[in-house]
Amino acid sequence: MLRPAIRHAPYSPPWRDVPTFVATVGGTGLLPSAPGTWGSLAALPLAWLILDGLGPLALCVAAILVFLLGSWVSVLVLRRTRDDDPGPIVIDEVAGQLTALIPATTELWQFALGFVLFRIADIVKPWPVSWADRDIEGGLGVMTDDILAGLYALAGLLVAREVLA
């Protein structure tokens, strides 16, 4: 297990440190409040472009790639901050949000609902999201709970599409 978090984790300006730049999604995670929400919002234009241009399979591949990249850069940032899951790391929210939107079309209501469902699942952390958040350590732990929250949101979005279709 990592050492207890320090009150103000040492983050260099994101443009001077590539792992911090990637983990904080260009500094988005360093915004003053609700970094997870900002990270999720940052994923929306990317998801829109991928879905509109390449389709849901490409969005699934993008979510996997972000998960892998995020797992790696998170380890590097965790070593420096000595925190289990520092709030400024929001690449996990990007991966989870991309996952949530895999079944979406580019209709605005589906993106809005996918965003809200993902934020709810990420905050409430139903099982196994809570288990992953609590028991999986390191970069994999930072990323896994958000992928699982994204899967909850994905399921909710699929149900909503069937009900509202």
Select from 142, 28, 122 the least CA-distant residue to 79.
142
Select from 149, 159, 160 the least CA-distant residue to 118.
149
Output the pLDDT for position 82.
79
Contact 2, 83 (CB under 8 A): yes
The string of pLDDT tens digits covering residues 20-59 is 899 999 999 989 899 999 999 999 999 999 999 999 999 9
- C-beta atoms surrounding 58 within 10 Å: 14
| CA atoms of 59 and 66, how far apart (whole Å) | 10
Identify the band that residue 12 occupies on the pLDDT scale cut at 50, 70 and 90.
low
The string of pLDDT tens digits covering residues 78-106 is 988 877 778 899 999 999 999 999 999 99
3 state SS of 124? helix
| CA atoms of 92 and 68, how far apart (whole Å) | 10
Q: Give the amino acid at 19.
A: P
pTM of the model: 0.91
Tell whether the model's pLDDT for residue 7 goes beyond 70: no
Lowest mean pLDDT among 2-16, 77-91, 95-109, 120-134: 2-16
Select from 99, 100, 152, 112 the least CA-distant residue to 130.
152
Tokens 């399921």 found at: 155
